[in-house]
Chain A
Amino acid sequence: MSTAIATTTVPTPHTAVLLSARGLRVTFGHTEALRGVDLDINTGEVIAVMGPSGSGKSTLLHALAGVIVPDAGTVSYGSTPAETVEICALDETARARLRLTDFGFVFQFGQLLPDLSAIDNVSIPLLLGGMRRKDALRQARTWLGRLGLAEQANQRPTELSGGQAQRVAIARALVTGPRVLFADEPTGSLDSLAAENVMVLLTDVARETGTTVLIITHDARTASYADREIIVRDGRVTAGFALSASVAGS
């Protein structure tokens, strides 16, 4: 999979940059997880992040989403100069707030609360945002229906198949209407059929809603659903830089 070739699908010239990283460095003890990453992500783009395991993909995602603060470098978020914020400069509370309102997350497994039904799981981000429970549940139901899970609304995660559970997770990530969806190997624990199914749904919904997607995957087929791929190797983005440079130059 590390042989996957970086394709440079040139985006439409008018797209605005939504997330922009400059000189990101992250070290864990003696491990340099990111060694200077520059990356621009445009509004509405679906990006596949590939690379060998341990290369720094998850770290990059966390740094972009304000989950961790890089040791050096900046991440600015916003499509107009007026609304742009410097994520690394925010404190933990403000970053948590931003993640809740503007970002959505999907992980490989184990992200659903085992005691909650599918619909309750989906409603949690809305409740965290202060929405009334009734409205939250109505909205959650809509999203479950959209992902083909209307029947499973009252089932618990242990009663769902892996693919269904991932779709619930996607519903939960999208229910707040995030501007960016971060997905870390969302199909990593699924068989290829279920993985394809999930990818189709995810990309379809993202495109319908204009959500920007950053999706980490090992699977070239999964990656093919993306508008472009970037490759992370040894803590460096090998393909993205050239692309963003070309965007900047156009």
Chain B
Amino acid sequence: MSLALTRLVAAGTRGARLRLVGIAAGVGIGVTLFLLLWGAFNGLQDREERSSWTALAVAGDPVAVGSTPAPTRDTVLVSSPTERFDGTVITRLDIAATSDSTVTVPGISRPPAAGTYYASPALAELIDSVPANQLGERFGTRIGLISDTALASPDSLVVVTGQPAARMTGAVMTFAISDFPTLSFGGRATYQTLAVVGGIAILLPVLLLVGIVTDLGAAERRERFATLRLLGATPGVVARIAMGETALTSLTGALLGVLLAWLVRPLAALLPINEGTFFVADLAVPPVAVIAAVTLTVLATSLTAGYRTYRAGVGPLGVTRQQRERRPRVVALVPLTVGFLGMLGVTVCTLADIQVPLFSTLLIGGFILTAVGLVLAGPYLTYRVSRVAARRARGAAGVIALARITATPRATFRAVSGLLIALFVVTVFTAAVTSVDASVDASVGPGSPGGGEENALPAGTLLAGLDSTAATDFDESRALLTATEGVRGVALAYSLTNWEGVILSGSDAATLGLLPSGAAGYVSIDNSYINVRSAGEAPPRVTEAPTVNPDDLEPWVMLILTDGTVAAQERARTTAETGQITLMGAPASVAENQGGSVATLMRGFTTMAHLGVLIATLISTVSLAVSTTASILDRRRSLGLLRLMGMPVPTLRRIILGEAALPFLTVVGGSILLGVGVAWSLITTLTYGKRVLSWPEPSAYIVLGVSLLLALTAVLATFRTARAHTAVSVTRFE
């Protein structure tokens, strides 16, 4: 009988069936996103573990500079010089091994012999797509691909080259190892913190949506339950019916969510996060977790539904207990306050150099508390504001909307809370993305290769750090480079013991345009000429060099002047790397040298931010539309009769708009300010004060504007529904 009753209550009318579809859809979306986020979190961890073997720093102490130990049967010499191509950093491992080496390199069977290399599939593709003298020649002959099991992402650019032991001079830190590191060194705490933050930012709106959806059609259902009570059902039976109905529905939704998550995994894997796109398998979630997620979702939604119905006190003649919401109290502000102040506390301690244990956990905790606190504090603030406003309302729409808000601050706030959370998160990420290195002039962004405009160096100049300990024939490299297509000149900068500046020969200074051609002897220029990006436009001060004995000069940096094109720069790099000189990594522009890590961090942030914004806003927009419609449907009889009495349709619209706008406007300013505060706290703490916030780019305002526009559209979209459902022909049959 209970099943029959359930069907009677659950699927009796079109509205009731729509409600069930809504619950299933909401739960489904929630489960899908949860599983995807969980998968992404696992995936980030997995791929970090897989690629940890390239992090040589954890392998032990490097061998001494200048000493060149020979590889043995069970040790190899490894170094990891910086390698670059067109603004992208390539992970490069140079290995010197004996021909009978027993050392295994992850992803490769045996260490490559000198002159040969293994590349990751993405790098191999890149190498094949450009002329050999721009990239491929740097590594030698390709003898195979690095297997996916040793790569973070399908996009990973990794190369393992075989080198003669004589090249491993220690110019770049060189390690003698028998095993490659297998565990990550945990340097990615920043990303994991941000991943968790982003995940919560998305899940919170989802939870709100599920909450809104399961509460749909409350008024209509109360009447139906009252009918059941009249027929003799006990409150327990009614609660159980509500529970059973919700359990079945949310189970269906959750299973669909699992299916959907599985189906969209290949698509989700295409999102470039952190180091690139994902291997689809990385996004897999263990079956236990899937079962747990489904079970918990079903339990949570059905128990809530049962409890709510039981509490509602549905009697045979309708709702006996007062249906008005409990009035929100000041304590609602506590979580927000605690969370936010906690975050600030951690930050202040970090700035004051006080060690805070588990600071990233504290930050995440603070963030969660702040975000949840915002949702909890909203109804209280909304209630306060609406109370004051209700007394001053003038028009009918104002009186009706404000009375509604005052009577049901939780429900009205919940309609916009998803949007506010989205906005809060948008602000956090937008503000975080603006963060710039406090030690660098903010007016200069991460530059492109050869960002010559930002430097006194001629445009397109690459700097190659030299290993002064290695005896090197510079003339050969100089000749080779000068002969390279697109290279306009080469200069050699020396350092001199006990001398501040950089020493250049007169002819090299002329090559750089610092002296008229034909100059001779040696000159000295400011150090900043070659290593500070913001050196300014003014030509550097060229002073006379101290009397120098050319034998005392230590070759320091080779300056390669190119025409600035990518092809020329890459050809120059290839020539320089394959020549006789020993470089400390690939030649790079000043901008590349200083902007690399900044750019990577930015990209990680930005992708996550855009993703979070998009998902959170979409979900919140749906929430807003659903709950706005629901609140009109709950009152459709009284509003419909008012329309019948002559209330014009614009008044109805103003009611709808007002009920969404007041809670939104009450909290929107606070959300944005909190977002900025949280971003500041996160960035400052995670970078130990090295980075500061600045003004967001115009695109951020556009994103913000679009989000708000979407919200407005959601509200406007409900106008039609509201109008249709309060029309005379509908009302009279209620």
Contact = CB atoms under 8 A, between A and B. Distances in A.
B323 interface: yes
Given A115-B406, A127-B399, A67 B635 contact: no
A158 B317 CA distance: 13
B341 interface: no
Contacts of B732: 58, 62
Interface in B381-408: 393-396, 399-400, 403-404, 406-408
Nearest to A62: B728
Given A112-B638, A113-B638, A115-B407, A68 B646 contact: no
Contacts of A96: 643, 646-648
Given A107-B641, A127-B395, A116 B403 contact: yes
B638 A111 contact: yes
A114 B411 CA distance: 15
Contacts of B635: 113-114
A115 B408 contact: yes
Most buried by B among A58, A105, A133: A133
A99 interface: yes
Q: Is the interface of B mostly helix, strand, loop or mixed?
A: helix
Most buried by A among B635, B644, B728: B644
B415 to A, nearest CB: 15
A110 B400 contact: no
A100 B638 contact: no
B403 A133 contact: no
A103 interface: yes
Nearest to B646: A100
Interface stretch (A15-23, A118-126, A226-234): A118-126
Contact of B645 (A62, A99, A114, A116): A99
B651 interface: yes
Interface string B539-578: 0000000000000000000000000000000000000000
B727 to A, nearest CB: 10
A93 interface: yes
Nearest to B396: A127
A229 B647 CA distance: 30
A112 B642 CA distance: 9
Contacts of B645: 99-100, 103-105, 125, 173
A216 to B, nearest CB: 12
Contact of B323 (A101, A116, A158): A158
Contact of A115 (B404, B646, B647): B404
Contact of B394 (A62, A120, A125, A133): A133
Contact of A99 (B404, B407, B638, B644): B644
A29 to B, nearest CB: 11
A132 interface: yes
Contacts of B643: 96
Given A96-B646, A99-B644, A133-B394, A110 B399 contact: no
B638 A123 contact: no
Given A96-B646, A103-B646, A158-B323, A110 B641 contact: yes
B152 to A, nearest CB: 56
B138 interface: no
A124 B400 contact: yes
A85 B305 CA distance: 54
A34 to B, nearest CB: 14
A116 B399 contact: yes
Contacts, number: 86
A110 B637 CA distance: 7
B322 interface: yes
B403 A120 contact: yes
B627 to A, nearest CB: 16
Contacts of B406: 115
B734 interface: yes
A123 B399 contact: yes
A191 to B, nearest CB: 13
Given A98-B646, A99-B645, A110 B403 contact: no
Interface residues on chain A, size class: 20 to 34
A207 interface: no
Contacts of B644: 67, 99, 105
Contacts of A101: 646
Contacts of B395: 127
Given A99-B646, A107-B641, A158-B322, A113 B728 contact: no
A123 B394 CA distance: 11
B78 to A, nearest CB: 73
B642 A124 contact: yes
Contacts of B728: 62, 67-68
B407 A128 contact: no
Interface in A51-106: 58, 62, 67-68, 93, 96-101, 103-105
Given A115-B406, A115-B407, A110 B646 contact: no
Contact of B651 (A117, A128, A158): A128
A58 B644 CA distance: 13
A124 B396 CA distance: 6
Interface string A177-213: 0000000000000000000000000000000000000
A14 B732 CA distance: 36
A85 to B, nearest CB: 15
Nearest to B734: A110
A186 B651 CA distance: 26
Most buried by B among A67, A103, A173: A67
Given A113-B635, A116-B403, A132-B394, A93 B648 contact: yes
B156 to A, nearest CB: 59
Contacts of A115: 400, 403-404, 406-408
Nearest to A68: B728
A137 B396 CA distance: 12
Contacts of B403: 113, 115-117, 120
Contacts of B393: 133
A133 B399 contact: yes
Contacts of A127: 394-396, 399
Contacts of A104: 645
Interface string B417-460: 00000000000000000000000000000000000000000000
Interface of B: 322-324, 393-396, 399-400, 403-404, 406-408, 635, 637-639, 641-648, 651, 728-729, 732, 734
16 contacts: A67-B728, A99-B644, A103-B646, A110-B637, A111-B642, A113-B403, A113-B635, A115-B400, A116-B403, A117-B403, A124-B399, A127-B395, A128-B651, A133-B394, A158-B322, A158-B323
The 4 tightest CB contacts between A and B, nearest first, are A100-B646, A99-B646, A127-B396, A115-B407
